[in-house]
C-alpha cells in the first residue's frame, strides 16, 4: 500500500519546514515547495522531494500537483503555507506595489493551490487542504493593512472552498499562527526588549514554536480531522481569546508568524 502524499509550500524555513518534516516523519511522502534550491537544501536528507517556484505564479501550483501525481500516484494533503509580510504605509510611494505583491503571494497563491489540488483530490475520493492564515486575519496591525487584508481573505477563501468541494470529500481549513519563534526573530530583527514586551501580551506568556504550529497543520491535514472543514484553528497562545490583548505597535504580529 502506497504512503499518503503531502505537499507543503513555503517549506524552506519556519512553520513550513516544520510541517514538511512532521509529515515526512509520520509516514507521508512529501513534496516541499519554495522559491529556490537553496531554501530547500535540507530536504533531500529527509527524503523530501522538491519543487522550486513562486506560488504567486499559477504554473507553480500546477507543477507541484503534477509532481505528486507523477512521482507518487496520489495526493492526500496540501499545506498552502507560503506567505510574505511587509509594511504597507498609506503614504508610501510603493504602497500599491507592496499591496499587489502581498496579495499575489498570500491570496493568489492560495487560490491557485486550491484550484489545482482540489480536483486532483476529488478524483481520488477526497483529501485535505490547509492554508496558513494568521491572527492578523481577524484584527488589525498598524501599517500592515495589506497583510491583514490578505490573511482575512485566506480565511474566507477556505470557508468558501469548503462549501464548494465538500461534496467531493475535499476538506479545506485554515490555521492561524500567533507569534512564533521563527528565523525572523532568531535572526535578530526584534530586540530582546521587544520580545519580552511581546511575551507579556500573550496569555501563555511565551512565543510558539514552529513545531507547535505544525502539529495543528498535521491534525487538519490528516484523517484525524476527517469531519472538520471550513474551520479556522488559531494557535496563538490565547491572543485572540481577548480582544483587549494586542501586540505592541512596534511589533506587529505579522512580523512573527512565518
Q: Give me the active site residues, please.
A: 147
The edge-to-edge listing of strands for the beta sheet with 77-80 is 49-52, 29-34, 5-9, 77-80, 127-132, 170-177, 232-235
Q: How far apart are CA 28 and CA 69, in angstroms?
A: 14
The DSSP H or E segment spanning 6 is: strand 5-9
Cβ 167 vs Cβ 121: under 8 Å:
no
Q: How far apart are CA 112 and CA 110, in angstroms?
A: 5
Q: How far apart are CA 247 and CA 123, in angstroms?
A: 44
Q: Is 78 helix (H, G, I), strand (E, B) or coil?
A: strand
- Within 8 A by CB and 6+ apart from 126, the residues are 168, 169, 170, 171
Amino acid at each position: 500500500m502506497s504512503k499518503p502524499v503531502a505537499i507543503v509550500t513555503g517549506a524552506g524555513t519556519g512553520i513550513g519546514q516544520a510541517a514538511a518534516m512532521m509529515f515526512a516523519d509520520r509516514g507521508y511522502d512529501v513534496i516541499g515547495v519554495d522559491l529556490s534550491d537553496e531554501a530547500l537544501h535540507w530536504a533531500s536528507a529527509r527524503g523530501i522531494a522538491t519543487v522550486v517556484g513562486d506560488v504567486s505564479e499559477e504554473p507553480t501550483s500546477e507543477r507541484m500537483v503534477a509532481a505528486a501525481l507523477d512521482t507518487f500516484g496520489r495526493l492526500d494533503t496540501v499545506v498552502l503555507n507560503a506567505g510574505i509580510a511587509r509594511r504597507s504605509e498609506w503614504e508610501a510611494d510603493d504602497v500599491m506595489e507592496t499591496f499587489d505583491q502581498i496579495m499575489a503571494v498570500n491570496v493568489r497563491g492560495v487560490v491557485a493551490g486550491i484550484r489545482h489540488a482540489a480536483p486532483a483530490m476529488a478524483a481520488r475520493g477526497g483529501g485535505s487542504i490547509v492554508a496558513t492564515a494568521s491572527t492578523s486575519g481577524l484584527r488589525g496591525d498598524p501599517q500592515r493593512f495589506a497583510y491583514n487584508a490578505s490573511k482575512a481573505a485566506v480565511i474566507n477563501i477556505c470557508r468558501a472552498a469548503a462549501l464548494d468541494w465538500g461534496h467531493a470529500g475535499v476538506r479545506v481549513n485554515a490555521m492561524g499562527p500567533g507569534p512564533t519563534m521563527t528565523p525572523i526573530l532568531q535572526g535578530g530583527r526584534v530586540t530582546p526588549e521587544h520580545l519580552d514586551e511581546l511575551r507579556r501580551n500573550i496569555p501563555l506568556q511565551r512565543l510558539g514554536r514552529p513545531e507547535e504550529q505544525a502539529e495543528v497543520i498535521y491534525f487538519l491535514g490528516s484523517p484525524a480531522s476527517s469531519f472538520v472543514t471550513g474551520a479556522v484553528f488559531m494557535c496563538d497562545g490565547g491572543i485572540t481569546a481577548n480582544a483587549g490583548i494586542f501586540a505592541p505597535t512596534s511589533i506587529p504580529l505579522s512580523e512573527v508568524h512565518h
